[in-house]
Amino acid sequence: MYKIEHIAYFWMLLAIPVTALVIWLWLRWRKRSLKVFGSQKQVQALLPGLSTTRPWLKWFFLACVLLFATGALVNPKVGSKMEEVQRRGVDVVFAIDVSKSMLAEDVIPNRIERARQLVSSVIDQMKSDRVGIVVYAGKAYPQLPITTDYGAARMFLQSVNTDIVPSQGTAIAEAIDLSVQYFDDDLETNRVLFIISDGENHEEGLESAYEKAAEENVIIHTIGLGTSSGGPIPEKRNGRVVGYKTDRKGNTVVTRLDENTLQKIAEVNNGSYFLARDTRKTVAHIREKIDEIEKSEIEARVFSEYRDQFQWFLAAAMLFLLVYITFPERKMKV
C-alpha cells in the first residue's frame, strides 16, 4: 500500500513538455540562421562539432531530472507495517441501476450521474463503516467487494456507467441476491442495502429475493431517481445526443419512475423509500438510516506505518543532473 504526501507538486511535470517545446523552437531557429552560411554540407564542414541529436539527449537528461525531482517532492510513502484494528460500524452495500433508462435527464444532469453523486457524498462522510457496490441492468455484477478502503470505493464508483453491463433490462431481484451474498456470514455485522434505481423491473422473482434478504437480516432501503412524468432516453455518440430511443413502431420511449415497486421492496424488514429530489437531503437521509443502525465490531487490517521513499527519487535526480551538466552539446573531436 502506498500514499502520496504532497500531490500538488505533480504540476512540476508540465515543465517537461514546455522544455521540449523550447528545444524544438531553438533548433528550428538555429537551422534557419545557419542557412545564410550555405548548404547543410557546407555548414557541417564549417562547424564539424554541430549536432542535432545531442541537444535532445541533454533534454532527455533534464527531463529525467525534473521527473525524479518531482517524485522526491511528492514523497510517495509505502506501507511497511500492518496491524489489526477494531472498529464499530455497519456493512453497507449500494446496488446501482445502470440500465439505459438511467440516462434520462428528468433529473439534472441525469439519473446515473445523480446516483454517482449520492454514493460518492455518502462515502465521503463514512469513518468506520464498510462499503460495497453492486451494479445491475439485465444482470447484476459485483463492482466493489465490501471494504473500508474508501479511496478504492471512490475510484471504482467513477467507472460506473450505463455501458458497464452488456445485457440491458432491470434485474432488481438478481441485484438483491448478489448484494446479500456480499455480507460475510462469519461476521455478525449489521447489514443495510440501498437500491438506487428508477424502479423499472423487467424480471420475475422480486418478491422471493427481498424476502430472502429479510431472512438474512438485511435491511433494504430504496432511493428513487426520476419523475412520474419521465423523460426520453438519449442516444449519444462521442458525448453528443444524436437522437432518442424508440420502440419498434418508431415512437419515442419515455421512461418513468416506478415508485410502487421501490416502496414495495422497502416495506420488507423495516426499510424505507425516499425520492431523491435534492442531493443534500437524500445524502442526509441515507446517513440517518445508516446511523440509526446499531454498530457492530468490525475487524480490519490497515497499514499503521509508512516509510518515506523520496530519497531514491532524489538520488536518481542528482545522478541525471550530473550527467546533464557534464554531457557536451557538441561532438567530440577524434
pLDDT for 36 equals: 65
Among left, alpha and beta (phi > 0; psi -120 to 50; other), residue 250 is left
Q: How far apart are CA 28 and CA 207, in angstroms?
A: 73
Burial class (CB in 10 A: 0-12, 13-18, 19+), 266: buried
Strands 2-4 and 296-308: unpaired
pLDDT for 334 equals: 46
Q: State how far the alpha carbon of 67 is from the alpha carbons of 163, 207, 219, 320, in Å.
A: 36, 58, 50, 10
pLDDT for 265 equals: 87
Q: How far apart are CA 94 and CA 135, in angstroms?
A: 8
Judge whether 49 and 329 are in contact, CB under 8 Å.
no
pLDDT for 333 equals: 52
Report the greatest alpha carbon distance in the chain. 91
pLDDT for 44 equals: 63
Nearest Cα residue to 162 out of 98, 211, 226:
98
**106-133: b (≥16 Cβ within 10 Å) or e:** bbeebbbbbbbbbbebbbeebeebbbbb
Neighbours of 202 (CB within 10 A): 12
Judge whether 120 and 323 are in contact, CB under 8 Å.
no
Q: Is 3.90.209.20 the CATH number for 83-299?
A: no
Residue 218: beta bridge partners? Answer: 191
pLDDT for 330 equals: 65
Among left, alpha and beta (phi > 0; psi -120 to 50; other), residue 182 is alpha
Residues of the chain with CATH 3.40.50.410: 83-299
pLDDT for 56 equals: 87
pLDDT for 186 equals: 66
Judge whether 115 and 144 are in contact, CB under 8 Å.
no
Q: What is the pLDDT along the chain (334 residues), one digit of tens a residue?
A: 567 778 888 888 999 999 999 989 988 887 777 776 666 666 566 666 567 788 888 889 999 999 999 999 988 877 656 555 566 778 899 999 999 899 999 998 899 999 999 999 999 998 888 899 999 988 899 899 888 888 889 989 998 998 888 777 778 888 899 988 888 766 667 889 999 998 876 667 778 888 888 888 889 999 999 998 999 989 877 778 888 888 888 899 899 998 998 998 888 778 899 999 899 999 999 999 998 887 776 655 555 566 788 889 999 999 999 998 988 876 655 4
Judge whether 96 and 153 are in contact, CB under 8 Å.
no
